[in-house]
Chain A
Amino acid sequence: MTSLLLVAQVTADAAARVGEGRIQGGWGYVAASYAIAYGAMAAYAVSLWLRRPRGGKSEE
């Protein structure tokens, strides 16, 4: 019984140590990254639309 408690304690300690190294928060960086990625692609799509060939038959 004592050894089982000891194993449980060691496991709990190990789990706590792993958690200590984790970066907390950071959603601001994530939001900024997704906004830049999607914004850049949307802006490029608009630029393609503005530069689209007009009139006449376009070659594919």
Chain B
Amino acid sequence: MNDKYRALRNGLAVLGVLTLAVGAYMGLSWAPAEREMGEVYRIIYVHVPAMWMALLAVTLNLVCCISYLFKASWGKDALAEASAEVAVLFGGFGLVLGSIWAKPTWGVWWDWDPRLTSMSVMLVAYLGYLAMRKFVEDPEKRAVWSAVVGIIAYVDIPIVWFSVKWWRTLHQVQSTPKTVDADMTLALRVNAFAFLFLMAFFVWNRYRIARAQRAAEVALPEALPTSAGHTSTGPVPGVLS
């Protein structure tokens, strides 16, 4: 069974890299230049998929957090941790790419406009979520507290998405296939799928690491002898599966 999963994981990585190669060709060469931004707009093919993956990963985190509070399980906790870390990865470099794109188009590297500000708040919130997980040693308390923090942090996500519609911002509103060239839409979709395959690969591998850490943490108290020959009453593997 493990071999089957390993083959699936490696298949995801290969698929992701191959699709990314096709996406890079389409984004850098095949897709036409933009009418006003010229070649600079080609940053869209890495910036937008990165941000989409960040939003997708935090949504997965939210589902795990809510689900954990209804029915506790180490698997949900591990998946929440994995998705938050991957969200910070994509959100972090996605924001840097946005800043690079801003310089030639807006004339500045950064502006405290609602979209950029709310996205920064999201990054800080999930960095805080990950930091809190490092500081709390008790696995059960950590799982419950981080589930609550994960739900609170997600409050910012609708603000990120709708900020360009609710306020007048430098950042443009979401485009639709109706407003851009069909070749641009196709190139963006190919890159988005490449990022999706790689994100799934990252989350899966990070989940395995988190599961192994949880297993080691919850197994340790049981292994330690306590007074009068009894074993510790700490969390036991299998109680939360």
Contact = CB atoms under 8 A, between A and B. Distances in A.
B205 A36 contact: no
Q: Which of A34, A41, A45, A48 has the most CB of B within 10 A?
A: A41
A44 B201 CA distance: 11
Interface in B69-106: 75, 89, 92-93, 96-97, 100-101, 103-105
B2 A36 contact: no
B101 A33 contact: yes
Contacts of A48: 202, 205-206, 209
A38 B5 CA distance: 25
A29 B39 CA distance: 10
B165 interface: no
A34 B208 contact: no
B18 to A, nearest CB: 14
Interface residues of B, number: 38
Contacts of B54: none
B137 interface: no
Interface residues of A, number: 28
Nearest to B37: A23
B196 interface: no
Contacts of A18: 35
Interface stretch (B43-51, B116-124, B147-155, B228-236): B43-51
A38 to B, nearest CB: 8
Given A37-B93, A52-B208, A30 B202 contact: no
Given A36-B97, A58-B2, A22 B38 contact: yes
A37 B90 CA distance: 9
Q: Which of A30, A34, A36, A37 has the most CB of B within 10 A?
A: A37
A60 interface: yes
Contacts of B144: none
Interface in A12-42: 18, 21-27, 29-30, 32-34, 36-38, 40-41
A24 B37 CA distance: 8
A14 B233 CA distance: 80
Interface of B: 1-2, 5, 13, 20, 24, 28, 35-40, 42-43, 46-47, 50, 75, 89, 92-93, 96-97, 100-101, 103-105, 198, 202, 205-206, 208-209, 211-212, 215
26 contacts: A22-B36, A25-B38, A26-B37, A29-B40, A29-B101, A32-B100, A33-B47, A33-B100, A33-B101, A34-B24, A34-B46, A36-B100, A37-B97, A38-B20, A40-B89, A40-B92, A40-B93, A45-B13, A48-B202, A48-B209, A51-B209, A57-B2, A59-B75, A59-B212, A60-B5, A60-B208
Given A22-B38, A23-B37, A44-B202, 4 more contacts: A30-B43, A33-B97, A38-B20, A41-B202
